[in-house]
Amino acid sequence: MPTRARKEEYFTLMKGLLAEYSKCFVVHADHVGSKQFQDIRKAMRGTGHVLMGKNTMMRKVLTGLGEDSPYNALIKKIVGNVGLIFVKDDLAAAKAIVTKYTVPAPARAGVVANANVVVPPGPTGCDPSQTGYFQTMEVPTKITKGQIEIVREVALITAGDRVTPGQADLLQKLGIRPFTYGLDILEVFDNGNIFSAKILDISSNDIIYAFTQGARNVAAVSFAIGIANAATVPHSIRAAVRALLSVVVNDEVSFTFDAASDVQAYLADPSAFAAANASSAVAAGGEAAAAAPEEESEDEEEVVVSFGDADAAW
């Protein structure tokens, strides 16, 4: 097929994907093998599409969409050995598919390390005649049972440094494959917005926890400056109920309300609650659990019910 026709076919494919999808990943593809691409494409069928190609061709298509196109923000991201993975719906699920196909790889001379490499202590399987080689690499060794043994772990390569031929040879000799390679998601595009892939790792529980902590801080500040708001209402109600309980449990007060019935019943006959706990423990069949109510019964005469104060809400 002529080169021009292949380019036109690529332009048509990319324009169709841009029209069909509103979400995509910008991925870095260094050291990714054809088998990994094949596996990812198979896994993404029905949920997305992997598009690789020359940067100039991708930028030409994106530029041709016009300045008003939401995809215009991707033009500056097409730098280096990158590609696009178009996603239909669930970005988090698509990210899980991409990261699943990450494979270990040996260290090659001249490659930039993407992780720290530490040589662990232990037997190497090398005969004593190679002691000089390990000394050259500044790896402390000793001879044990006819083979060379590394005495302690050695920090060999730091992430970001280039692997030297000696380091690559040592790791190959020891059978260590220190690096992992796969499609690295650089940016996430979603309906004109671009953000880091780390955002996809935030779960609903993380959001709820952050919101709860923020609400607690707002309530604390509001109490300190004496301003009531929606964040302070639950704490104020809780403090008010405790204050009412502390009043109605006195012997001189005959007034009561539904929320105070359990507390008043406990103060009137603590042994009834101890007996109930003992019977439930026996029903569970645990001897250790049955012994716990007996210890509580020894302190029945010293039961102290603390209802706290308004500050205890915090």
DSSP labels, the chain? --HHHHHHHHHHHHHHHHHH-SEEEEEE-TT--HHHHHHHHHHHTTTEEEE---HHHHHHHHHHT-TTSGGGGGGGG--SSEEEEEESS-HHHHHHHHHHT-EEE---TTPBPSS-EEEPSEE----GGGHHHHHHTT--EEEETTEEEE-S-EEEE-TTSBPPHHHHHHHHHHT---EEE--EEEEEEETTEEE-GGGGG--HHHHHHHHHHHHHHHHHHHHHHT---TTTHHHHHHHHHHHHHHHHTSTT-----GGGHHHHHHHH-HHHHHHHHHHHHHHHT-HHHHHHHHHHHTTGGG-------GGGG-
Q: Which of 164-168, 230-234, 238-242, 299-303 has the lowest mean pLDDT?
A: 299-303
pTM above 0.75, yes or no: no
User: How buried is 232 (Cβ within 10 angstroms: 0-12 exposed, 13-18 middle, 19+ buried)?
Assistant: buried
d(CA 106, CA 99): 19
What pLDDT does 278 receive?
65
What average pLDDT score do residues 296-313 get?
Answer: 43
Q: Model confidence at 114, in pLDDT bands (50, 70, 90)?
A: confident
Distance of CA 131 to the CA centre of its chain: 43
Q: Model confidence at 17, in pLDDT bands (50, 70, 90)?
A: very high
Q: Model confidence at 283, in pLDDT bands (50, 70, 90)?
A: low
What average pLDDT score do residues 284-300 get?
Answer: 49
Q: Express each pLDDT in 154-211 by its tens digit.
A: 888 888 889 999 889 989 888 888 888 888 899 999 888 899 888 888 888 888 998 8
Query: Residue 309 above 70 pLDDT?
Result: no
Strands 184-190 and 193-195: antiparallel
The closest of 91, 77, 88 to 26, measured between CA atoms, is: 77
Q: Report residue 27: phi and psi, to 5°.
A: -115, 145
